[in-house]
Each structure stands twice: as C-alpha cells, then as structure tokens.
C-alpha cells in the first residue's frame, strides 16, 4: 500500500512538472508575442492554455482520488494538499501568460509595447521566463536553493513594476492612453505571474522544512 502510494505521489509530482513545463513554454511564447507583436504566437499561447487547464483538472481529480483511497496523514497529506494548491497557481500562471499574449492581439497591427518601455518589458519578460524555468526545475528536483533564487528574481520584477509606473506618471511620458493602458496591464500581469511562482516556491520550501502553518498562506 505504502509503495503504491509513493508511486502515486511521484505521478502527481510528474504531472505538476509537466504543467509547469507548459507554463514555461506559454510565458516564453507570450513574451515574444507581446514584444514582437506576433499574433500567431499569441494564438499558440491561447491553445496551450486550454491544455494547461485540462491537465490541472486531471491532476486535481487524481489528487482527490488519492486522498479518498490512501487517506494519507501528516507530511503525505500535506504533499497532496499542496499539489492541489500548486496546480491552482500554475493554472493561473497559464491564464496570465494568455493575458500577456492577448495584449499583442488587441493592438495588432500596432505594437503593444509602449515606446520608451521596450527594454523594461523585454527584461520583465526575460525574468518571468527564467522564473518559470526555475519553477519547473524546483518541482522536478525539490532543490530549495531554487526557491530562494525565484524570490530574488521576483524582487527584480517588483522593482521593474514600480519603474513602469514611475515612467508613465513622469513628466517625460508622451504615450497615448492606449500605451498607458497597455503598460499598466502588462506590468501588472508580469508581476502577478512572478507572485504565483513565489507562492509555489514557498509551498515547496515549507514541505521541505515541515513549517506547515505558513503553507496555508496563499500570498
């Protein structure tokens, strides 16, 4: 029974890695779609998100089935509950990648990235992709060093997020309202994407350290 359970937990973990991998693919394509105003890439991200949603639903059903049949307690129970939470965050990250890609579609054939903010959004996109790749690796290896690195990258995103507002609220900003809207939304999406990664990283860390109480926090 115990061996079957461990095998089932590994399968849940594998499926989380698979979803995280798709999220990394999505944010990579979404970032390119946004910065290059590439509409066909944007459509790929939208298709990809459907797959992420399906996998998240199937993982959740599997986790609930494990709870019902194996009735785990203590750390094993925490692992299964965390898997449910991690899948919800990954699903949300897929949605956000889709939102970023959609910005490219709404403005097409205009560029969605506002002038004066190209390098900022290139950097935010690069950091979000890096975070998604590290997250996949963290879920695969449970190497908590990666959790720390994800937090550091998130700090950089937060700084860039503030800098976007400094820019659009500054005296030199000449953007049209559409550029201001796009800058506001894109910055917010990039920041939220990274926040979800940090939230997942914390859950993996808490599972490793046994500090359960903190695990319930959804921030």
64 belongs to the binding site for its own copies (CB under 8 A) = yes
Identify the CA nearest to 136 among candidates 148, 146, 126: 146
Q: How far is the CB of 136 from its own copies (least distance, A)?
A: 20
Of the pair 6, 216, the CB lying nearest its own copies is at 216
Out of 18, 44, 78, 142, the residue judged to bind its own copies by CB under 8 A = 78
Identify the CA nearest to 37 among candidates 122, 124, 109, 116: 109
Q: What tokens appear for 140 in the block?
A: 């695969």
Of the pair 145, 165, the CB lying nearest its own copies is at 165
1 belongs to the binding site for its own copies (CB under 8 A) = no
**Helices within 37-144 (DSSP H only):** 39-70, 74-107, 118-141
Of the pair 78, 156, the CB lying nearest its own copies is at 78
Let me know: does 154 contact 173? Beta carbons within 8 Å: no
Total site size for its own copies, rule CB under 8 A:
38
Alpha-carbon distance 12 to 79, whole Å? Answer: 10
* CA within 13 Å, CB half, 149: 15
Q: How far is the CB of 68 from its own copies (least distance, A)?
A: 5
Residues lying near its own copies in the complex (CB under 8 A): 53, 56-57, 60-61, 64, 67-68, 71, 73-74, 77-78, 81, 84-85, 88, 91-92, 95, 165, 168-169, 173, 175, 177-178, 180-181, 184-185, 188, 212-213, 216-219
């Amino acid at each position: 029974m115990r061996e079957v359970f461990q095998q089932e937990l590994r399968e849940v973990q594998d499926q989380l890695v698979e979803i995280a991998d798709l999220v990394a693919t999505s944010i990579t394509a979404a970032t390119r779609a946004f910065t290059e105003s590439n509409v066909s890439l944007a459509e790929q991200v939208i298709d990809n998100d459907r797959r992420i949603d399906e996998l998240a639903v199937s993982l959740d059903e599997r986790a609930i089935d494990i709870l019902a049949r194996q009735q785990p307690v203590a750390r094993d129970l925490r692992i299964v509950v965390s898997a449910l939470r991690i899948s919800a965050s990954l699903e949300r990250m897929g949605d956000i990648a889709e939102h970023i890609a959609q910005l490219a579609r709404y403005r097409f054939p205009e560029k969605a990235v506002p002038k004066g903010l190209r390098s900022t959004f290139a950097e935010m996109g690069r950091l979000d992709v890096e975070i998604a790749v590290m997250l996949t690796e963290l879920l695969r290896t449970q190497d908590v060093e990666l959790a720390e690195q994800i937090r550091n990258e998130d700090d950089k995103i937060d700084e860039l997020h503030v800098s976007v507002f400094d820019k659009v609220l500054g005296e030199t900003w000449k953007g049209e309202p559409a550029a201001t809207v796009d800058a506001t939304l894109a910055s917010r999406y990039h920041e939220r994407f990274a926040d979800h990664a940090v939230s997942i990283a914390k859950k993996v860390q808490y599972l490793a350290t046994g500090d359960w109480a903190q695990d319930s926090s959804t921030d």
